[in-house]
Copies of this chain bind each other. A is one copy, B any other.
Amino acid sequence: MAAAALENTKETIAMRVVDALRDDIITMALKPGDVISESDIAGRYGVSRQPVREAFIRLAQQGLLLIRPKRATVVKKISPLGVRQSRFIRESIEVEIIRRVAGQPSDDAADVLTKLIADQEAASDAGDSRRFHTLDELFHRTLARLAGVEYAWQLIDDHKMQLDRVRYLTLGVSSTQRAIAEHKQIVEAVARADAAAAETAMRAHLARAELLLNQTISDFPDYFE
C-alpha cells in the first residue's frame, strides 16, 4: 500500500478517504480483485469505519469498488465489455465534438492545439509518460471546450475512470510518437475546416485504444473479468 496519511486538503474525512482510495485504485496500488474491508482501511488511515463506509459507497457508484452485501468489498475487476462500451460513448461524443470544431473554425483554435502538441513532443522527448498522459487528456478536453461542451466532458468523467485504469497499465507500452502524429492529423483537418477528414482522423486515433486493450488483457489477465 501507499501512504498511511491523508492529504489535509478536502473538507471531510470521507472525501479524503475517497481521494486516497481512488488514487490507489487507478495507480494499481490496489489491484483489481483485492479484497478490502471497512475496518481494514479505517485502521490503516486511523479513522473510524463510518467515513470509510461512505467512501466505499461513492467509489462503488463510480464503478471502482464492488460491495457484496454482508460478504465483502473488492476492487472491481476491469470489464472488457464495460471498457469497450465506454469507448463507444467516448467515440460518439468526440466525433460530434470534432465535427463542431471543424465546422465552425476559429482563428486561434488551431494555434492552441498546435501549442499543446508541441508540449506533448517535449514531454515525449523527456520520457515523461505521466506528463504526456496529462497533456493528452488536456488535448481532448480542449477540443470539448472549443466545441462549447466542456461541461459534458465532466459528466462522462466517471466512465472515463474505467479507461484510465487500462491506460495506466499501458503507460510504458503505448507509442507517444504515434499519438502525436495522430493529433497532428486531427489539427490539420480542423485547420482546413475539413470535418469529414477530422472525423476520420479522430476515429483512427481512438481505434488504437482497442489494440492496447487487447494487449493489456493478455498482459494482465488477472485484472480483467
Contacts and interface: CB of A to CB of B under 8 A. Distances in A.
Nearest to A159: B155
Interface in A42-89: 53-54, 57-58, 61-62, 69, 81-82, 85-86, 88-89
B85 A92 contact: no
A7 interface: no
B155 A89 contact: yes
A156 interface: yes
Contacts of A54: 53-54, 57
B85 A151 contact: yes
Interface string A134-166: 000000000000000101100110110000000
A151 B82 contact: yes
A85 B86 CA distance: 18
21 contacts: A11-B69, A12-B69, A53-B54, A54-B54, A57-B58, A61-B61, A61-B62, A81-B151, A82-B151, A82-B155, A88-B96, A88-B149, A89-B93, A89-B155, A89-B156, A91-B96, A92-B95, A92-B96, A93-B93, A155-B159, A158-B158
User: How many interface residues does chain A have, given as a range?
Assistant: 20 to 34
Interface of A: 11-12, 53-54, 57-58, 61-62, 69, 81-82, 85-86, 88-89, 91-93, 95-96, 149, 151-152, 155-156, 158-159
A204 to B, nearest CB: 16
Contacts of A152: 85-86, 88-89
A9 to B, nearest CB: 14
Contacts of A92: 92-93, 95-96
A155 B61 contact: no
